[in-house]
Structure 1
Amino acid sequence: MKQSLSLRVSQHLALTPQLQQSIRLLQLSTLEMAQEVEQMLDENPFLERTEESAEREEFGLSATDAPVSAGEQLSESGSGADDGAAASAGERLSASDESAPADDLEGRLDGSAPVEESWEGDGTVEIAPDDSEWGGDAPPRNGASDDDETASAAELARSLISLQDHLHEQARMLRIGDDDAAALFFLIESLNDDGYLDGDLGDLARAWWRLAHPDTGLPSLEEAEEAEEQLRIALGWLQAMEPAGVGARDLAECLRLQIQELRNTPAARIALAICQQPLELVAKRDIKRLCALTGADDETVRAALGLIAGLEPKPGRRFVDVERNIVVPDVIVLRAGRGFKVVLNPDVMPRLRVHDVYANALRGQRGGRDSEGGHAAMQQRLQEARWFIKNIQQRFDTILRVSSAIVERQRNFFMHGELAMRPLVLREIADELGLHESTISRVTTAKYMSTPFGTYELKYFFGSSLGTETGGNASSTAVRALIKQFISAEDTKKPLSDNQLSDMLKEQGIECARRTVAKYREALRIAPANLRKAL
């Protein structure tokens, strides 16, 4: 192998820890952001949450007091004229990268960037003007209130009883033996969120036997049969509890358990017979075949289907913890005269500042020689706390800028509703704000806006366009809303087919094919015409 020397000129941009943190914070949801703040409060002694109100300081990446270190500058190598060109490019990037949003740097990266391993301080340990509290308008996060009327939705959700607790409370009212009570307890704990009992009863019996006899290995045939019989008895107790249908193994059994709780009428008896048939016939409303299978007349079958339609397919649904369905908006849109004003939600803005006592103590020990290593480490932690506060502010500032641009572009939506939504893509907002498209994508993911028409994810306001007869464009969101409006006003005895919906859209001047109509209808979770037909 012949050895040789070669010279290659290249340039790359290093993503410092500060920039990486800014990128990461921008894409976090509200819940993830709160967790990140709590973790940083636990790890960094210079960071604290404050309850006092303070004036919001104007600072950002461009006003940071940390100079650019060697690892943060553009790395380049070369000689001759190429060195001058590369150096000028590095100066331009260094000058712009401190003031530009951190996420915009992704658009200029061609590959992986080396990572700075540590947070380098600048030797400053005094309290800087930008070390004060950020988010001063936010109320205390952990402020408890004695007024029940001001209880949060999360607190109300936590007060709801679970399905298992509801069933255990009923089980305590039964006068049964200890073995039956243990079997019933096992079945209750084996229910899923919908109130169904997953798995075969024999498999559950073997699992319960091994749980009750952990040191005896696999059960014998007689022991397995005895355990299964005991669970079968306990299952009878469980299925007699409220809500009706709990403990079912499948949908048909769930419906039968609920029908048995109803008054014994001809429709109820035919409904029981229908539940013993394939449920596909019920979904398709195949009345003729159901009449043939049950021996009932057309009117009785229709009454039975109407009875089945009023049953609860998921008995445990009302006991599911609703806290995970709570959406806290990041921005709030308010009416301001004839226009609209966009403000950040103070409830999601953390109130953080640098701990002045610790910072002053660090400043007082600057001259010590015995603890130079420890002093440098604490200095880095102080700088890290400052950068964290600044990156949080930049995150919310970027969210506010993007949200304001969206409201300005979709003004008709906030005045007239989703039918007035106009087509919008990420590139339009990116060009208007001077940001990269990837930044807009991060900002609009898992961020929510409270509007006069409800709370929506920021991505909801972006949609593709469909052509119109006049040569203009219609938003796909507005087309979906129009389809939903057509279906809500249809004759339930003669529901509109996808072809008919497509023709109705063409009458409105919107070119939308049948397959596109079907895709939008499925996205709206609307059943096809044959399943929407009234009984």
Structure 2
Amino acid sequence: MKPSLQLKLSQHLTLTPQLQQSIRLLQLSTLELNQEIERFLLENPMLERDEPDGGEYASGPTPAAGSAQDGVNGSEQPSEQDNRDAAHEEQQGIDWSDTGSAPGASSTRDRDNDEEVDFQEFQPAETSLREHLDQQIALSQMCDRDRALARLVVEALDDDGYLHQTLEELLALVPAEHGVELEELEIALRQVQSLEPAGIAARSPQECLGLQLRAMPEDPVRKLALTIVEGHLELLAERNFARIKRLTGCDDDALRAAHALICSLDPHPGARHGSDDTRYVLPDVVVRKTRGRWTVGLNAEAMPRLRINQLYASILQQHRGQGGELPAQLQEARWLIKNVQQRFDTILRVAQAIVDQQRQFFDHGAVAMRPLTLREIADQLELHESTVSRVTTQKYMATPRGVFEFKYFFGSHVATDTGGAASSTAIRALIRQLVEAEDGKKPLSDAKIADLLGQQGIVVARRTIAKYRETMSIPPVSQRKTI
């Protein structure tokens, strides 16, 4: 074909960099937003944090360059009282540089230092399971050879403190020239099992519980519990109490006491020495009841305070056309400040709409939760459904009933016999109430729970009850039976 030039007109949608940034900031969690802002602060000299005493969240016009609140000079002028104190000390001819403080100043400085101390620095360092066991081995009366074998066993333990490798497999790791026998490893294993925490270096949950019981003082309850653990643990897991009583010859009271003792044991003794990776949630909004109405307010702790650096802005204004990259960075800083404010404005609007729709939940609890979809909130606020989805993901609200993710207030609906609908969250709450109020000797089956809900006008299938029960980590009826 002969090449030719053609002119064609078409339309396409292009997202501006500002709009792309706005969308990205909207879907970030509070932690991710702070990380993103820290990156901007490092890369853009035109952007800076507003001081805590700078008033409310600053995103509008910034104060003029060189004003007192800019804090450009970074220092305060001495007051008249300070000048008089300095003159007085000079007249007295006292040199406080030798002592590092003046009379009355040490307590003030110490108090200031106390306020700045981060007491988390003084928290004890976490000790791993292996370090904890190695310390005990080092203080034991073992010989060097036994210590080395004991440490070999410790190194093979998992994070829960279990030994999943066989002694034969551990023996194969030892060089043949050391002449280690299998019996020596068995002795080393018993020595490790005698260390704290009790139940460590077990090869099965049964052995783990047995080690913990053997470390307790001898009494009838401990003896019966040890018999059950070593011979009838599967029956106990199945809640087959009648057969356990028949095989052990115990009565209800003795079995109940032994069962309580077994439940108090720790099946993962090594986990307490693991790293505690606690994740804290910083709520984006706070819900309060004011004059009989539930209202939402932004959490000031979650709102980063940003402003334009007035020093650089004034320099750029004085040298227009010679700022290099500064004009573009100034525009980026303004975009970020505007998009951050717009992000929180959208979060506040969506949160208030959710609270208005779920007033009954805040008044009466989860059983009063109504069905709600993202589409309803989007239509109410004239937003796109994808925008509401971004707002409700990893955003949290603090309420008198606890801290909840926005997504918690959305759920599917189940039809009622009156033609209405019940929220799946409300049904889960009703299931939990029924299970908590049931007779432990005759727990409710899934079919029975479905019948009880049907009597309240909520039509739910048995398999739906089972699915909701599993999502709430409620065991089946056979495992909820008590003595």
TM-score, normalised via structure 1 length = 0.71
Report the equivalent of 2:287.
333
Report the equivalent of 2:397.
449
Any residues of structure 2 matched to 1:6-25 within 5 Å, and which?
A: 8-25=8-25
Deviations 1:431-473 (A, max 9, x none): 1111111111111111111111111111101111111122111
Shift of residue 259, structure 1, vs aligned partner: 1.2
SS at match of 2:54: coil
**In the alignment, residue 26 of structure 1 is paired with which amino acid?**
L
Report the equivalent of 1:247.
201
Query: CA–CA distance in 2 between the matches of 1:395 and 1:332?
Result: 16
Report the equivalent of 2:49.
49
Query: CA–CA distance in 1 between the matches of 2:339 and 2:57?
Result: 14
Any residues of structure 2 matched to 1:307-456 within 5 Å, and which?
A: 307-322=261-276, 324-368=278-322, 375-456=323-404
Q: Does the CA-based 8 Å contact 2:222-2:261 persist in structure 1? A: yes
Tell whether 2:467 aligns with 1:519: yes
Report the equivalent of 2:425.
477
* Compared CA separation, residues 367 and 349, structure 1 to 2 (3 A): closer
Query: CA–CA distance in 1 between the matches of 2:397 and 2:182?
Result: 53
Query: CA–CA distance in 2 between the matches of 1:151 and 1:500?
Result: 56
Deviations 1:164-205 (A, max 9, x none): 365455455434455655665666566554343455555566
Deviations 1:371-416 (A, max 9, x none): xxxx342322222222222222222221111111111111111111
Query: CA–CA distance in 2 between the matches of 1:362 and 1:234?
Result: 74
* Compared CA separation, residues 452 and 252, structure 1 to 2 (3 A): same
* Compared CA separation, residues 313 and 418, structure 1 to 2 (3 A): same
* Compared CA separation, residues 191 and 27, structure 1 to 2 (3 A): farther
Q: Does the CA-based 8 Å contact 1:44-1:381 persist in structure 2? A: yes
Query: CA–CA distance in 2 between the matches of 1:192 and 1:335?
Result: 50
Report the equivalent of 1:497.
445
Q: Does the CA-based 8 Å contact 2:369-2:425 persist in structure 1? A: yes
Q: Does the CA-based 8 Å contact 2:209-2:229 persist in structure 1? A: yes
* Compared CA separation, residues 427 and 306, structure 1 to 2 (3 A): same
Shift of residue 361, structure 1, vs aligned partner: 2.6
Any residues of structure 2 matched to 1:30-45 within 5 Å, and which?
A: 30-45=30-45
Tell whether 2:249 aligns with 1:297: yes
Q: Does the CA-based 8 Å contact 1:410-1:421 persist in structure 2? A: yes
Query: CA–CA distance in 2 between the matches of 1:513 and 1:157?
Result: 56
* Compared CA separation, residues 179 and 221, structure 1 to 2 (3 A): closer
Query: CA–CA distance in 2 between the matches of 1:392 and 1:504?
Result: 49
Report the equivalent of 1:282.
236
Shift of residue 306, structure 1, vs aligned partner: 3.9
Any residues of structure 2 matched to 1:202-281 within 5 Å, and which?
A: 220-221=175-176, 223=178, 226=180, 233-277=187-231, 279-281=233-235
Tell whether 2:411 aligns with 1:463: yes
Structure 2 residue ranges without an equivalent (≥5): 72-111
Shift of residue 161, structure 1, vs aligned partner: 4.0
* Compared CA separation, residues 233 and 347, structure 1 to 2 (3 A): farther
Q: Does the CA-based 8 Å contact 1:331-1:449 persist in structure 2? A: yes
Tell whether 2:140 aligns with 1:174: yes
Q: Does the CA-based 8 Å contact 1:426-1:441 persist in structure 2? A: yes
Q: Does the CA-based 8 Å contact 1:157-1:323 persist in structure 2? A: no
Deviations 1:85-117 (A, max 9, x none): xxxxxxxxxxxxxxxxxxxxxxxxxxxxxxxxx
Shift of residue 314, structure 1, vs aligned partner: 2.2
**In the alignment, residue 29 of structure 1 is paired with which amino acid?**
S
Query: CA–CA distance in 2 between the matches of 1:485 and 1:151?
Result: 44
Q: Does the CA-based 8 Å contact 2:57-2:306 persist in structure 1? A: no
Query: CA–CA distance in 2 between the matches of 1:288 and 1:330?
Result: 53
> What is the percentage of aligned positions where both structures have the same residue?
50
Q: Does the CA-based 8 Å contact 2:59-2:337 persist in structure 1? A: no
RMSD: 3.7
If you compute each CA radius of gyration, which structure gives the higher value, 1 or 2?
2
**In the alignment, residue 302 of structure 2 is paired with which amino acid?**
V
Query: CA–CA distance in 2 between the matches of 1:433 and 1:464?
Result: 21
* Compared CA separation, residues 31 and 249, structure 1 to 2 (3 A): farther
Query: CA–CA distance in 1 between the matches of 2:440 and 2:267?
Result: 23
Query: CA–CA distance in 2 between the matches of 1:438 and 1:201?
Result: 57
Structure 1 residue ranges without an equivalent (≥5): 64-125, 134-143, 210-218, 369-374
* Compared CA separation, residues 45 and 482, structure 1 to 2 (3 A): same
Query: CA–CA distance in 2 between the matches of 1:387 and 1:205?
Result: 65
Query: CA–CA distance in 2 between the matches of 1:504 and 1:303?
Result: 33
* Compared CA separation, residues 442 and 190, structure 1 to 2 (3 A): farther
Deviations 1:28-47 (A, max 9, x none): 12222222222222222222
Q: Does the CA-based 8 Å contact 2:434-2:449 persist in structure 1? A: yes
**In the alignment, residue 174 of structure 1 is paired with which amino acid?**
S
SS at match of 1:347: helix
Deviations 1:306-350 (A, max 9, x none): 432222222244455555242221211122121122112222222
* Compared CA separation, residues 181 and 221, structure 1 to 2 (3 A): closer
Query: CA–CA distance in 2 between the matches of 1:22 and 1:396?
Result: 11
Query: CA–CA distance in 2 between the matches of 1:200 and 1:310?
Result: 28
Tell whether 2:148 aligns with 1:194: no
Shift of residue 478, structure 1, vs aligned partner: 0.6
More displaced, 399-408 or 37-46? Answer: 37-46
Report the equivalent of 2:86.
none
Aligned length: 436
Shift of residue 249, structure 1, vs aligned partner: 3.4
Query: CA–CA distance in 2 between the matches of 1:467 and 1:167?
Result: 58
Query: CA–CA distance in 1 between the matches of 2:114 and 2:189?
Result: 43
Q: Does the CA-based 8 Å contact 2:347-2:391 persist in structure 1? A: yes
Shift of residue 256, structure 1, vs aligned partner: 1.4
Shift of residue 271, structure 1, vs aligned partner: 3.5
More displaced, 332-341 or 489-498? Answer: 332-341
